[in-house]
Amino acid sequence: MAEASYALVVMKNILYIAAALSFAAPTQLSAHCQVPCGIFDDQNVIDAMGTDVVTIEKAAQQIVELSKDPAANAQQIVRWTNNKESHAQSIQEKVLNYFLAQRLKLPETDADKELYAKKLALSHEVIVAAMKCKQSTDPATVAKLKELMVTFGEMFGSHE
């Protein structure tokens, strides 16, 4: 009985200490990123999006080729379709969660408004093009996404 009572006292003390320390912690953390990890930079994210585009293109080609004999290739068609979908979704998420949420800032001057509007419109176009790549294996759809990604890289990427 004494051991259980001792354990209860220790647990209470730990809770009191934890509660006291929570009041000492800063109430607001400031960072440019949703998770201030310091790992990502614009060019790395753009390069990863380029890899997504190449994968989408390869997947679309494989789906078309394998669909010539769907009964024999059903499992591979499903796998390539899922792969194409996940890479298109990855592009959408990077544009939304990295560029729109963190990198595209509201313009402070009238001179910045035009560039802001162009970047915003381009971001929307990339998101829609990635969505259309989910819906199709048409090479023209992938070509449109590739073209938009070149412009996206020029607008958002490093210019070193």
Per residue in 79-121, pLDDT (tens digit) is: 999 999 999 999 999 999 999 998 888 888 888 999 999 999 9
Task: Tell me the average pLDDT across 67-72.
Answer: 97
Alpha helices for 25-160 (secondary structure H): 42-66, 70-94, 110-135, 139-156
| Amino acid, single-letter form, for residue 25 | A
Domains and CATH numbers, the chain: 35-156 (1.20.120.400)
pLDDT for 76 equals 98
CB 135 within 8 A of CB 154: no
Regarding predicted confidence, which is higher, 76 or 8?
Answer: 76
> Do 134 and 89 meet the contact criterion of CB atoms below 8 Å apart?
yes
Per-residue model confidence (pLDDT) at position 7: 62
Which has more pLDDT, 49 or 43? 49
C-alpha–C-alpha distance, residues 65 and 151, integer Å: 30
Tokens 């953390």 belong to 29
132 pLDDT higher than 70: yes
Question: 8: pLDDT confidence band, cut at 50, 70 and 90?
Answer: low
pLDDT of residue 119: 95
Longest dimension (CA), the chain: 77
User: At which residue do the structure tokens 């989408």 appear?
Assistant: 56
Distance CA 148, CA 153 (A): 9
Q: Which band of pLDDT confidence, cut at 50, 70 and 90, is reported for residue 11?
A: low
